[in-house]
Amino acid sequence: MTSPADRSAAAPALRVDALSVTFATDAGPVHAVDEVSFEVFPGEVLAVVGESGSGKSVSSRAAMGLLPATARVRGAVTVGAHEVTRMSARELTALRGGAVAMVFQEPGAALDPLFTVGFQISEAIRAHTTASRKQARSRAVELLRLVGLPDPERRVDAYPHELSGGQKQRVVIAIAIACEPKVIIADEPTTALDVTVQAEILDLLRDLRDRIGSAILLITHNMGVVADLADRVVVMKDGRVVEQAGVDDLFVAPRAEYTRSLLAAVPRLTVDAGGSAAAAATAAAEPALEIRDLSVRFPGAPRSAVEGVSLAVGPGETLGLVGESGSGKSTIGRCAAALQRPTAGAIRVLGHDIVGRRERALRPVRRRFGFVFQDPATSLNPRLIVGESVAEPLLVHRQGSRSETAARVREMLDAVALPADAAARYPHELSGGQRQRAGLARALVLRPDLLIADEPTSALDVSVQARVLDLFEELQAEFGFACLFISHDLAVVDRLCHRVAVLRHGRLVEQGPVARILRDPQEEYTKRLVAAVLEPDPAVRRQVREQGPDAG
């Protein structure tokens, strides 16, 4: 951690001075960043927080020279002695990965699907060092082990599609730290990670900062991560800085009303018997989703991704599915949506057996359920504007006239807190959180009886997450849909779900009412998950680190 005295004696590793960024779009200019200034010093973690679309990620990408040609930039961004906004393409290529590196928000889009993860890490190493291919591969294995990827000697030859979302995020972090850069820009580095791996990644970033004095610019919506890792905090809203403060001062006595609203919206894992209560009528009703003895094994894999899992979701009920990255959560969700064929077992959706059914026979069932994908960057068609993507389920299933479809799209975009002009933008013109909200709007546009939500709030800042969760509860109360809610955020599961099922290595560890599982877990693995939840309080996080990992 860098003290104020240390900062006064050192030159900043990264300086942003009066930065303004405007994008040219088909709907007119979009002013993303307006006169933003801040500094990050060696050995310091500066967190930049704010709502999706506030300019956090745009500011960080400007430091890497990664803004598109449609961006008009004013002001200065300096990395060490290099003025980034004046550098040539060749100079920027040499800078990236060496002096400054970035952990991208969406690992599915950051990794090349055509190359193994080991090759991609090795290429990053060889681009900035004199390492041979053999040396670079050995270093790649070492980095995969460092970021906690299981069986790194084998996984080094895996392709991105063979890894879970959280595992891909760890690969992206390995690439970023490969050459131990002086500045690490971490754009939502723990978004796709479960709580235990999140804690490991934060420890890794903290160790890297302490070991080589890297400055870390942390872009995040997770105030627990801010409390755990940051030294100082910059709060942004509508492209402007509304407050800068030390992390303790910000959490104890925030000056700006906007900052106070952000902190108030943070979900917390309560110690009382809170959480939602399941509807009494669901116990006797036919399940909306029933999974029996489900197993999935991918070709060449040493073990099954899912092994003998049985669970059910009643009408109007929300079942939370939690566990570490790679535990099989998303695979179960994809099987339930008939997007992945199981190796064995039975799945019944809304009274229909779906395993082995032809696509045409599944269409009447598909009309009655929605799916929120984990990675919005790869699930939204880049050639369609957002309004067309949201309308697509209505058109495919021939639901409503053209005017009714347009009205429904406007209603859903408003419901998920997207601006009206978002309908006319392409996915790449939205922030990561805005794309996630567009995916949620598309999943809900048919008013489904069953919603399968794979990390539906993972890319959302806390205030928008709170509004989306309110919306979810309102829609569920109105339409009575059931939901399989896949998440690594136990505080969100605590608030939203009636029951919870815990997975580890593809097997069901325990399941039951939220109040019992999260407050009186019986299995050691569940106890570790609960203990790893980051309390959004810097003083509490310091106390936990001082007491050691077993303190929670």
Q: In CATH, what number is assigned to the domain containing residue 462?
A: 3.40.50.300
- The pLDDT, as a whole number, for residue 388 is 95
* 341 & 293 share domain: yes
Share of the chain above pLDDT 70, in %: 94
Burial of 364 from C-beta contacts in 10 A (0-12 / 13-18 / 19+):
exposed
Give the burial string for 173-196 (b: 16+ CB within 10 Å, else e): bbbbbbbebbbbbbbbbbbbbbbb
User: What is the mean pLDDT of the segment spanning 420-439?
Assistant: 86
The reported pLDDT for the residue numbered 302 is 84
Could you tell me which residues come within 8 angstroms of residue 437 by beta carbon, excluding any fewer than 6 positions away? 52, 416, 417, 418, 460, 464, 468
pLDDT beyond 80 at 325: no
Rounded Cα distance, 297 and 476, in Å: 34
The answer to whether the CB of 274 falls within 8 A of the CB of 293 is no
The one-letter code for the residue type at 502 is V
Based on the fold, state whether residues 380 and 361 are members of the same structural domain: no
Same domain flag for 283 and 353? yes
Residues 394 and 363 in one domain: no
End position of a domain, from candidates 398, 423, 445: 445
DSSP annotation of 534 reads: -
Section 269-273 average pLDDT: 57
pLDDT-based confidence at 173, cuts 50/70/90?
Answer: confident
CA distance 261 to 373: 28
Strand partners, 212: none
Number of domains in the chain: 3
Sequence-separated (6 or more) residues with CB below 8 Å from residue 51: 237, 433, 461, 463, 464
Residue 403 sits in which domain range?
375-445
Chain center to CA of 47: 16
pLDDT band at 306 (very low <50, low <70, confident <90, very high): very high
Q: Where does the pLDDT of residue 270 fall: very low under 50, low under 70, confident under 90, or very high at 90 and above?
A: low
State the pLDDT confidence band at 366, using cuts at 50, 70 and 90. Answer: confident
Question: Quick one: average pLDDT of 234-260?
Answer: 95
Q: How confident is the model at residue 279 (pLDDT cuts 50, 70, 90)?
A: very low
552 lies in a domain?
A: no
The closest alpha carbon to 321, from 169, 454, 199, belongs to: 454
Task: Classify residue 145 by its DSSP letter.
Answer: H
Residues 46 and 40 sit within 8 Å (Cβ to Cβ): yes
User: What are 537's two structure tokens?
Assistant: 């309080």
More confident position, 213 or 38: 38
Q: For residues 350-365, give the mean pLDDT.
A: 87
What SS3 string covers 368-422?
Answer: CEEEECCCHHHHCCCCCCHHHHHHHHHHHCCCCCHHHHHHHHHHHHHHCCCCHHH
Q: Are 450 and 482 in contact (CB under 8 A)?
A: yes
Q: How many angstroms separate the CA atoms of 44 and 531, rounded?
A: 27
Do both 434 and 348 map to the same domain?
Answer: no
Looking at the fold, whether 258 and 288 belong to one and the same domain comes out as no
pLDDT at 21 (0 to 100): 95
328 and 248: one domain?
Answer: no
Q: Are residues 275 and 323 in the same domain?
A: yes
Say what the pTM is: 0.72
pLDDT in tens, 125-152: 998 889 999 999 999 999 999 888 889 9
- Parallel, antiparallel, or unpaired: how do β-strands 71-79 and 215-219 relate? unpaired
Per the model's pLDDT, the better-predicted residue between 400 and 3 turns out to be 400
Domain-located, residue 178: yes
**Range scoring the smallest mean pLDDT among 120-129, 249-258, 529-538:** 529-538
- Percentage, residues of the chain above pLDDT 90: 47
The answer on 232 and 132 residing in a single domain is: yes
Specify if 15 maps to a domain.
yes
pLDDT in tens, 372-427: 887 777 788 999 999 999 999 999 888 888 899 999 999 889 888 888 889 999 99
CA distances from 520 to 194, 517, 524, 530 (A): 20, 6, 11, 10
- Judgement on whether residues 41 and 8 belong to the same structural domain of the protein: yes
Asked whether residue 304 falls in the same domain as residue 393, the answer is no
Two tokens, residue 222 = 């997770």
As to burial, measured by CB atoms within 10 angstroms (0-12 exposed, 13-18 middle, 19+ buried), residue 262 is buried
Least confident span in 124-128, 195-199, 311-315, 499-503: 195-199
* pLDDT number for residue 274: 42
Of 432, 549, 438, 445, the C-alpha closest to 109 is 432
**Domain's final residue, options 410, 445, 480:** 445
Q: In terms of pLDDT, which residue wins out, 500 or 8?
A: 500
Provide φ and ψ at 197, rounded to 5°: -70, -35
Q: What is the pLDDT of residues 57-85, one digit of tens each?
A: 899 888 888 888 899 999 999 998 889 98
Residue 356 forms part of a structural domain: yes
Among 406, 427, 445, give the residue marking a domain's end: 445
Q: What is the CA radius of gyration of the chain?
A: 23
Mean pLDDT of the chain: 87
Alpha carbon 518 to chain centroid, angstroms: 22
pLDDT of residue 364: 85
Question: Is 538 part of a structural domain of the chain?
Answer: no
pLDDT band (50, 70, 90) for residue 17 = very high
Task: Name the maximum alpha-carbon separation found in the chain.
Answer: 70
In a domain, 536, yes or no: no
